[in-house]
């Protein structure tokens, strides 16, 4: 009974937090490819995950975080939390990133993108059981990766169409993502149309796979890539290859590889140099004039 009460309390906390922000439904009606998804979105409390891990997302949304203590600078950042396409780490890779960016004048939009359907009430355990069989896992998630990337494109298109409503510039809309969210951000960088083209892209310890990344677009946006050398999933190699692809295509890219930090640090502090990664991202944004 205590566990049930804890889960209910966590679910209420995350929805109370969101109630203070505007939440936008990304699609009018069911999203293409998931029309028959009828399961309910849920929250799972794991470790120190604060508001919990959101799973079974079938209706993509954007949660709006506007700057209130400093003037808005007209730049929008779509934030894609990670979680292996099984769940979303909404705090350290979502809400906390948004609040930090707000203090710099950025308007942030945390994206809940579509996820695989969990068959139990413990999506973390499911992920840990599936992930070791990497080849099968990557093949199984391909359909949902495509949907999640489509959600990323839809988020940018929506913001471009409603730029005036949020006080942002149509030429200053970009995307940052973590782990699986970095897959979404990278996938968008390879597959946009004029309306969904991001003005900047920032994959943080991304998995680069399960989508076509064979050709860098002719008008590819500038890219900021960040990872730790001791990433448990070996995504440091993905990041080096991604950087090389951008540079070989003569596109602007910046790569940061920290010696230590492992995977999934987000905004969590580890008493390591990687703790200041978001300041390096802000430096890069300032260099581009997005400040």
Q: What is the pLDDT of residue 69?
A: 84
User: Which residue matches tokens 């199984």?
Assistant: 140
Q: What is the pLDDT of residue 145?
A: 98
Q: What is the pLDDT of residue 21?
A: 84
Q: Cα 132 from chain centroid?
A: 23
Q: What angle do CA 191, 196, 202 make, to 5 degrees?
A: 70
Q: Which residue intervals of the chain are DSSP H helices?
A: 2-19, 96-102, 123-130, 134-161, 163-166, 180-191, 235-248, 277-288
Considering the entire predicted model, what is its pTM?
Answer: 0.92
Q: Cα 133 from chain centroid?
A: 24
Give the domain 2-288 fold. Rossmann fold (3.40.50)
Q: What is the pLDDT of residue 49?
A: 56
Structural domain spans, the chain: 2-288
Q: What is the pLDDT of residue 5?
A: 42
Q: What is the pLDDT of residue 51?
A: 67
Q: What is the pLDDT of residue 254?
A: 99
Q: What is the pLDDT of residue 3?
A: 41
Report, as ranges of residue numbers, the positions in the chain whose pLDDT lies below 50: 1-19
Q: What is the pLDDT of residue 52?
A: 82
């Amino acid at each position: 009974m205590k566990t049930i009460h804890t889960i209910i309390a966590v679910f209420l906390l995350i929805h109370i937090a969101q109630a203070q922000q505007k939440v936008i439904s990304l699609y009018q009606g069911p999203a293409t490819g998931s029309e028959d998804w009828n399961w309910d979105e849920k929250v799972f409390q794991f470790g120190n995950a604060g508001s919990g891990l959101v799973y079974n997302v079938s209706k993509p949304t954007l949660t709006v975080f506007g700057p209130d203590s400093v003037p808005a600078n007209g730049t929008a950042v779509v934030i894609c939390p990670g979680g292996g396409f099984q769940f979303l780490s909404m705090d350290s890779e979502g809400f906390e990133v948004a609040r930090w960016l707000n203090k710099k004048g950025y308007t942030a939009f945390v994206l809940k993108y579509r996820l695989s359907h969990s068959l139990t009430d413990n999506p973390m355990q499911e992920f840990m059981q599936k992930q070791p069989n990497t080849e099968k896992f990557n093949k199984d998630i391909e359909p949902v990766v495509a949907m999640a990337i489509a959600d990323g494109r839809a988020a940018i298109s929506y913001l471009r169409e409603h730029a005036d409503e949020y006080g942002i510039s149509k030429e200053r809309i970009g995307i940052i993502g973590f782990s699986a969210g970095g897959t979404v951000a990278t996938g968008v960088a390879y597959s946009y149309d004029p309306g969904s083209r991001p003005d900047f892209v920032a994959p943080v310890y991304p998995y680069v796979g399960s989508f076509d990344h064979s050709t860098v677009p002719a008008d590819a946006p500038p890219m900021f890539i960040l990872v730790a050398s001791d990433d448990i999933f070996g995504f440091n190699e993905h990041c080096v290859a991604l950087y090389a692809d951008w540079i070989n295509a003569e596109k602007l890219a910046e790569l940061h590889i920290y010696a230590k930090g492992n995977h999934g640090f987000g905004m969590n502090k580890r008493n390591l140099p990687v703790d200041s990664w978001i300041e390096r991202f802000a430096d890069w944004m300032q260099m581009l004039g997005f400040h």
